[in-house]
Amino acid sequence: MQITEGKVAVVTGAGSGIGLGMARAFAGAGMRLVLADIESGALDAAVAELRVAGHEAIGVRTDVSRLSEVEALASATMDTYGAVHVLCNNAGVGVAAPIGQTSIEDWEWTLAIDLWGPIYGVKTFLPLIEAQGEGHLNSTASMAGLLAGPTLGAYNVAKHGVVALMASLERDLRVSRSPIRASVLCPGPINTKITSSERNRPADSAAGHVQTAQGDKFWGNLSALLSQGMDPDEVGTMVLDAILQERFWVLTHPKMARLVQAQVDAMVGDQSLVRV
Ligand SMILES: NC(=O)c1ccc[n+]([C@@H]2O[C@H](COP(=O)([O-])OP(=O)(O)OC[C@H]3O[C@@H](n4cnc5c(N)ncnc54)[C@H](O)[C@@H]3O)[C@@H](O)[C@H]2O)c1
Protein backbone atom coordinates (compact mmCIF):
# COMPACT_ATOMS: atom_id res chain seq x y z
CA MET A 1 0.00 0.00 0.00
CA GLN A 2 1.65 3.25 -1.06
CA ILE A 3 -0.65 6.00 0.20
CA THR A 4 -1.96 6.00 3.76
CA GLU A 5 -3.63 9.45 3.90
CA GLY A 6 -7.37 8.99 4.54
CA LYS A 7 -7.10 5.20 4.71
CA VAL A 8 -8.83 3.35 7.56
CA ALA A 9 -6.84 1.25 10.03
CA VAL A 10 -8.16 -1.03 12.78
CA VAL A 11 -5.77 -1.83 15.63
CA THR A 12 -6.61 -4.27 18.42
CA GLY A 13 -5.00 -3.93 21.84
CA ALA A 14 -4.69 -0.22 20.99
CA GLY A 15 -5.19 1.01 24.56
CA SER A 16 -1.60 0.32 25.58
CA GLY A 17 1.92 -0.49 24.49
CA ILE A 18 2.63 -1.58 20.92
CA GLY A 19 -0.99 -1.16 19.75
CA LEU A 20 -1.06 2.43 20.96
CA GLY A 21 2.30 2.97 19.25
CA MET A 22 0.83 1.70 15.96
CA ALA A 23 -2.25 3.92 16.36
CA ARG A 24 -0.05 6.98 16.92
CA ALA A 25 2.14 6.15 13.90
CA PHE A 26 -0.84 5.49 11.60
CA ALA A 27 -2.65 8.65 12.74
CA GLY A 28 0.54 10.62 12.13
CA ALA A 29 0.50 9.29 8.55
CA GLY A 30 -3.02 10.67 8.04
CA MET A 31 -4.98 7.47 8.53
CA ARG A 32 -8.41 7.29 10.16
CA LEU A 33 -8.34 5.00 13.16
CA VAL A 34 -10.51 2.39 14.83
CA LEU A 35 -9.01 1.49 18.18
CA ALA A 36 -10.14 -1.74 19.84
CA ASP A 37 -9.34 -2.95 23.33
CA ILE A 38 -10.92 -4.89 26.17
CA GLU A 39 -9.87 -2.25 28.73
CA SER A 40 -12.40 0.58 28.42
CA GLY A 41 -10.52 3.23 30.41
CA ALA A 42 -7.28 2.78 28.49
CA LEU A 43 -9.22 2.69 25.20
CA ASP A 44 -11.07 5.95 25.95
CA ALA A 45 -7.81 7.67 26.92
CA ALA A 46 -6.12 6.53 23.69
CA VAL A 47 -9.01 7.77 21.53
CA ALA A 48 -9.07 11.10 23.40
CA GLU A 49 -5.32 11.55 22.90
CA LEU A 50 -5.59 11.08 19.13
CA ARG A 51 -8.61 13.36 18.80
CA VAL A 52 -6.98 16.14 20.82
CA ALA A 53 -4.06 15.89 18.40
CA GLY A 54 -6.54 16.49 15.54
CA HIS A 55 -6.82 12.92 14.23
CA GLU A 56 -9.97 10.99 13.30
CA ALA A 57 -10.45 8.06 15.68
CA ILE A 58 -13.16 5.97 17.27
CA GLY A 59 -12.90 3.37 20.01
CA VAL A 60 -14.78 0.06 20.06
CA ARG A 61 -14.55 -2.02 23.22
CA THR A 62 -13.73 -5.49 21.91
CA ASP A 63 -12.75 -8.84 23.37
CA VAL A 64 -10.82 -10.37 20.47
CA SER A 65 -11.32 -13.88 21.85
CA ARG A 66 -15.02 -13.63 20.88
CA LEU A 67 -15.88 -13.92 17.19
CA SER A 68 -19.13 -11.99 17.68
CA GLU A 69 -17.20 -9.03 19.13
CA VAL A 70 -14.67 -9.04 16.28
CA GLU A 71 -17.60 -9.06 13.84
CA ALA A 72 -19.17 -6.14 15.76
CA LEU A 73 -15.83 -4.32 15.47
CA ALA A 74 -15.93 -4.76 11.70
CA SER A 75 -19.54 -3.53 11.56
CA ALA A 76 -18.68 -0.44 13.65
CA THR A 77 -15.75 0.27 11.32
CA MET A 78 -17.87 0.03 8.18
CA ASP A 79 -20.74 2.03 9.75
CA THR A 80 -18.36 4.85 10.72
CA TYR A 81 -15.96 5.06 7.78
CA GLY A 82 -17.53 2.88 5.06
CA ALA A 83 -14.17 1.21 4.40
CA VAL A 84 -11.24 -0.60 6.00
CA HIS A 85 -7.74 -0.90 4.53
CA VAL A 86 -5.47 -2.03 7.39
CA LEU A 87 -6.00 -4.52 10.20
CA CYS A 88 -3.47 -5.06 12.98
CA ASN A 89 -4.27 -8.07 15.17
CA ASN A 90 -2.15 -6.95 18.09
CA ALA A 91 -4.03 -7.62 21.35
CA GLY A 92 -2.20 -10.20 23.41
CA VAL A 93 -1.58 -11.62 26.86
CA GLY A 94 0.99 -13.90 28.46
CA VAL A 95 1.16 -16.46 31.24
CA ALA A 96 4.46 -17.80 32.59
CA ALA A 97 4.62 -21.41 33.77
CA PRO A 98 6.44 -24.60 32.85
CA ILE A 99 4.40 -26.72 30.43
CA GLY A 100 3.80 -29.45 33.01
CA GLN A 101 2.14 -26.99 35.38
CA THR A 102 0.29 -24.86 32.85
CA SER A 103 -3.39 -25.19 33.69
CA ILE A 104 -6.06 -25.77 31.05
CA GLU A 105 -7.51 -22.35 31.95
CA ASP A 106 -4.10 -20.76 31.27
CA TRP A 107 -3.84 -22.57 27.92
CA GLU A 108 -7.38 -21.59 26.93
CA TRP A 109 -7.05 -17.93 27.95
CA THR A 110 -3.73 -17.50 26.12
CA LEU A 111 -4.75 -19.32 22.94
CA ALA A 112 -8.18 -17.65 22.81
CA ILE A 113 -6.68 -14.16 22.73
CA ASP A 114 -3.24 -14.66 21.17
CA LEU A 115 -4.16 -17.17 18.43
CA TRP A 116 -7.94 -17.23 17.97
CA GLY A 117 -7.98 -13.39 18.14
CA PRO A 118 -5.83 -13.09 14.97
CA ILE A 119 -7.72 -15.97 13.28
CA TYR A 120 -11.05 -14.21 13.92
CA GLY A 121 -9.53 -10.94 12.74
CA VAL A 122 -8.27 -12.37 9.45
CA LYS A 123 -11.48 -14.31 8.81
CA THR A 124 -13.69 -11.27 9.47
CA PHE A 125 -11.66 -8.46 7.92
CA LEU A 126 -10.00 -10.11 4.88
CA PRO A 127 -13.13 -9.96 2.67
CA LEU A 128 -13.77 -6.33 3.69
CA ILE A 129 -10.20 -5.32 2.88
CA GLU A 130 -10.27 -7.29 -0.40
CA ALA A 131 -13.40 -5.34 -1.36
CA GLN A 132 -11.30 -2.14 -1.22
CA GLY A 133 -8.90 -3.54 -3.82
CA GLU A 134 -5.90 -2.60 -1.64
CA GLY A 135 -4.86 -3.06 1.95
CA HIS A 136 -2.75 -4.86 4.50
CA LEU A 137 -3.20 -7.30 7.38
CA ASN A 138 -0.58 -7.47 10.13
CA SER A 139 -0.54 -9.61 13.25
CA THR A 140 1.68 -9.23 16.28
CA ALA A 141 3.48 -12.49 17.01
CA SER A 142 6.79 -12.36 18.91
CA MET A 143 10.31 -13.74 18.78
CA ALA A 144 8.48 -16.42 20.81
CA GLY A 145 6.76 -17.25 17.51
CA LEU A 146 10.13 -18.28 16.07
CA LEU A 147 11.89 -19.70 19.16
CA ALA A 148 10.47 -21.78 21.99
CA GLY A 149 12.22 -20.75 25.21
CA PRO A 150 11.36 -22.17 28.64
CA THR A 151 8.48 -21.15 30.97
CA LEU A 152 6.31 -19.60 28.27
CA GLY A 153 4.84 -22.67 26.59
CA ALA A 154 1.26 -21.56 25.95
CA TYR A 155 2.49 -18.19 24.64
CA ASN A 156 5.11 -19.88 22.42
CA VAL A 157 2.46 -22.19 20.94
CA ALA A 158 0.08 -19.29 20.24
CA LYS A 159 2.78 -17.08 18.71
CA HIS A 160 4.18 -19.88 16.51
CA GLY A 161 0.58 -20.24 15.30
CA VAL A 162 0.37 -16.52 14.51
CA VAL A 163 3.57 -16.66 12.43
CA ALA A 164 2.16 -19.66 10.52
CA LEU A 165 -1.20 -17.91 10.07
CA MET A 166 0.34 -14.80 8.55
CA ALA A 167 2.91 -16.69 6.45
CA SER A 168 0.11 -18.88 5.06
CA LEU A 169 -2.02 -15.82 4.35
CA GLU A 170 0.84 -14.04 2.62
CA ARG A 171 1.49 -17.07 0.37
CA ASP A 172 -2.22 -17.50 -0.40
CA LEU A 173 -2.52 -13.83 -1.39
CA ARG A 174 0.48 -14.16 -3.70
CA VAL A 175 -0.82 -17.37 -5.31
CA SER A 176 -4.12 -15.64 -6.08
CA ARG A 177 -2.28 -12.50 -7.33
CA SER A 178 -4.19 -10.44 -4.78
CA PRO A 179 -3.26 -6.78 -4.32
CA ILE A 180 -3.67 -7.26 -0.56
CA ARG A 181 -0.50 -7.72 1.52
CA ALA A 182 0.18 -9.42 4.85
CA SER A 183 2.96 -9.15 7.42
CA VAL A 184 3.93 -10.41 10.83
CA LEU A 185 5.45 -8.41 13.67
CA CYS A 186 7.95 -10.34 15.82
CA PRO A 187 9.02 -7.99 18.60
CA GLY A 188 11.90 -8.55 20.97
CA PRO A 189 11.78 -6.81 24.37
CA ILE A 190 9.48 -3.76 24.29
CA ASN A 191 8.65 -1.54 27.26
CA THR A 192 4.92 -2.28 27.73
CA LYS A 193 2.50 -3.69 30.31
CA ILE A 194 2.47 -7.26 28.91
CA THR A 195 3.75 -8.77 32.18
CA SER A 196 0.62 -7.46 33.91
CA SER A 197 -1.68 -9.12 31.37
CA GLU A 198 -3.77 -10.59 34.20
CA ARG A 199 -5.25 -7.10 34.75
CA ASN A 200 -7.78 -7.84 32.00
CA ARG A 201 -8.47 -11.50 32.78
CA PRO A 202 -12.05 -12.54 33.56
CA ALA A 203 -12.39 -13.78 37.16
CA ASP A 204 -13.55 -17.31 36.26
CA SER A 205 -10.53 -17.83 34.01
CA ALA A 206 -8.14 -16.19 36.50
CA ALA A 207 -9.33 -18.60 39.20
CA GLY A 208 -7.84 -21.43 37.14
CA HIS A 209 -4.38 -19.88 36.95
CA VAL A 210 -1.71 -22.06 38.55
CA GLN A 211 1.07 -20.01 40.09
CA THR A 212 4.55 -21.55 40.03
CA ALA A 213 7.88 -20.46 41.51
CA GLN A 214 9.52 -20.88 38.07
CA GLY A 215 6.80 -18.79 36.44
CA ASP A 216 7.02 -16.02 39.06
CA LYS A 217 10.80 -15.84 38.77
CA PHE A 218 10.62 -15.73 34.97
CA TRP A 219 7.96 -12.98 34.99
CA GLY A 220 10.01 -10.91 37.46
CA ASN A 221 13.11 -11.17 35.28
CA LEU A 222 11.10 -10.43 32.13
CA SER A 223 9.49 -7.34 33.72
CA ALA A 224 12.96 -5.99 34.53
CA LEU A 225 14.15 -6.72 30.96
CA LEU A 226 11.09 -5.10 29.34
CA SER A 227 11.40 -1.96 31.49
CA GLN A 228 14.70 -1.40 29.62
CA GLY A 229 13.15 -2.42 26.31
CA MET A 230 12.39 -0.51 23.13
CA ASP A 231 9.82 2.31 23.17
CA PRO A 232 6.54 0.93 21.70
CA ASP A 233 6.13 4.08 19.59
CA GLU A 234 9.24 3.00 17.65
CA VAL A 235 7.57 -0.33 16.94
CA GLY A 236 4.50 1.48 15.60
CA THR A 237 6.68 3.33 13.09
CA MET A 238 8.32 0.04 12.03
CA VAL A 239 4.92 -1.49 11.28
CA LEU A 240 3.87 1.60 9.29
CA ASP A 241 7.10 1.33 7.26
CA ALA A 242 6.45 -2.38 6.61
CA ILE A 243 2.95 -1.56 5.33
CA LEU A 244 4.29 1.19 3.06
CA GLN A 245 7.19 -0.95 1.80
CA GLU A 246 5.12 -4.16 1.65
CA ARG A 247 7.55 -6.19 3.78
CA PHE A 248 6.43 -9.44 5.42
CA TRP A 249 8.83 -9.84 8.33
CA VAL A 250 8.93 -7.06 10.93
CA LEU A 251 11.65 -7.84 13.48
CA THR A 252 12.28 -5.11 16.04
CA HIS A 253 15.56 -6.76 17.09
CA PRO A 254 16.88 -8.40 13.88
CA LYS A 255 20.05 -9.60 15.61
CA MET A 256 17.85 -12.04 17.55
CA ALA A 257 17.29 -13.86 14.25
CA ARG A 258 20.73 -15.40 14.91
CA LEU A 259 19.01 -17.49 17.58
CA VAL A 260 16.61 -18.76 14.94
CA GLN A 261 19.62 -19.62 12.78
CA ALA A 262 21.16 -21.48 15.75
CA GLN A 263 17.94 -23.45 16.05
CA VAL A 264 18.06 -24.38 12.36
CA ASP A 265 21.72 -25.37 12.74
CA ALA A 266 20.81 -27.60 15.70
CA MET A 267 18.00 -29.16 13.69
CA VAL A 268 20.30 -29.89 10.75
CA GLY A 269 22.97 -31.17 13.17
CA ASP A 270 20.35 -33.31 14.96
CA GLN A 271 20.91 -31.77 18.39
CA SER A 272 17.92 -31.27 20.65
CA LEU A 273 19.23 -28.51 22.86
CA VAL A 274 19.55 -24.88 21.87
CA ARG A 275 19.89 -22.07 24.37
CA VAL A 276 17.28 -19.34 23.67
N1 LIG B 1 6.20 -6.19 25.09
C2 LIG B 1 6.96 -7.07 24.49
O3 LIG B 1 8.16 -7.18 24.78
C4 LIG B 1 6.38 -7.99 23.44
C5 LIG B 1 7.25 -8.84 22.77
C6 LIG B 1 6.72 -9.68 21.80
C7 LIG B 1 5.40 -9.64 21.49
N8 LIG B 1 4.56 -8.79 22.15
C9 LIG B 1 3.14 -8.78 21.76
O10 LIG B 1 2.73 -7.45 21.52
C11 LIG B 1 1.31 -7.37 21.59
C12 LIG B 1 0.92 -6.14 22.37
O13 LIG B 1 1.30 -6.30 23.73
P14 LIG B 1 2.06 -5.17 24.56
O15 LIG B 1 3.43 -5.68 24.81
O16 LIG B 1 1.87 -3.85 23.93
O17 LIG B 1 1.31 -5.29 25.96
P18 LIG B 1 0.22 -4.34 26.68
O19 LIG B 1 -0.31 -5.14 27.81
O20 LIG B 1 0.83 -3.02 26.97
O21 LIG B 1 -0.90 -4.17 25.57
C22 LIG B 1 -1.77 -5.22 25.22
C23 LIG B 1 -3.17 -4.66 25.00
O24 LIG B 1 -4.05 -5.75 24.64
C25 LIG B 1 -5.28 -5.55 25.34
N26 LIG B 1 -6.00 -6.82 25.48
C27 LIG B 1 -5.75 -7.86 26.33
N28 LIG B 1 -6.67 -8.82 26.18
C29 LIG B 1 -7.52 -8.40 25.21
C30 LIG B 1 -8.68 -8.97 24.61
N31 LIG B 1 -9.16 -10.17 24.99
N32 LIG B 1 -9.30 -8.28 23.63
C33 LIG B 1 -8.85 -7.06 23.25
N34 LIG B 1 -7.77 -6.46 23.80
C35 LIG B 1 -7.11 -7.13 24.76
C36 LIG B 1 -4.86 -4.98 26.68
O37 LIG B 1 -5.92 -4.35 27.35
C38 LIG B 1 -3.74 -4.01 26.26
O39 LIG B 1 -4.24 -2.73 25.97
C40 LIG B 1 0.86 -8.70 22.21
O41 LIG B 1 0.35 -9.54 21.20
C42 LIG B 1 2.15 -9.27 22.78
O43 LIG B 1 2.10 -10.67 22.87
C44 LIG B 1 5.02 -7.97 23.11
Ligand 1 centroid – CA 90 distance (Å): 6
What pLDDT is recorded for position 83? 98
User: In the beta sheet, which residues pair with residue 183?
Assistant: 138
155 is known as an active-site residue: yes
Q: How far is the CA of 6 from the centre of ligand 1 (A)?
A: 26
pTM: 0.98
| Cα–Cα distance measured from residue 178 to residue 3, given in angstroms and rounded to the nearest whole number | 18
Residue 229, φ and ψ in degrees, nearest 5: -80, -175
Tens-binned pLDDT, residue by residue, of the chain (276 aa): 777 899 999 999 999 999 999 999 999 999 999 999 999 999 999 999 999 999 999 999 999 999 999 999 999 999 999 999 999 999 999 999 999 999 999 999 999 999 999 999 999 999 999 999 999 999 999 999 999 999 999 999 999 999 999 999 999 999 999 999 999 999 999 999 999 999 999 999 999 999 999 999 999 999 999 999 999 999 999 999 999 999 999 999 999 999 999 889 888 987 776 565
According to DSSP, residue 248 is labeled S
- Nearest ligand 1 atom to the CA of 155 is 43
Instruction: Give the pLDDT of residue 267.
Output: 87
Q: Is the CB of 118 under 6 A from ligand 1?
A: no
DSSP count for the chain of H helices, then E strands: 10, 7
Which protein residue has the closest C-alpha to ligand 1 atom 25? 13
E strands present in the chain: 8-12, 32-37, 57-61, 86-89, 135-140, 180-186, 249-251
Tell me the CA–centroid distance for residue 269 and ligand 1, in Å.
36
pLDDT of residue 271: 74
Domains parsed from the chain with CATH numbers: 8-268 (3.40.50.720)
Strand partners, 139: 89, 184
Distance CA 235, CA 222 (A): 19
- From the candidates 125, 155, 218, 219, give the one annotated as an active-site residue: 155
Ligand 1 and 89: CB distance under 6 A: no
Q: Which of 190, 196, 197, 231 to mutate to test the pocket of ligand 1 (most atoms within 8 A of CB)?
A: 190
Specify the residue with its C-alpha closest to ligand 1, atom 41.
Answer: 92
Q: How far is the CA of 266 from the centre of ligand 1 (A)?
A: 31
> Helix, strand, or coil here: 59?
strand
Instruction: Burial-class residue 265 by CB neighbours within 10 Å (0-12, 13-18, 19+).
Output: exposed
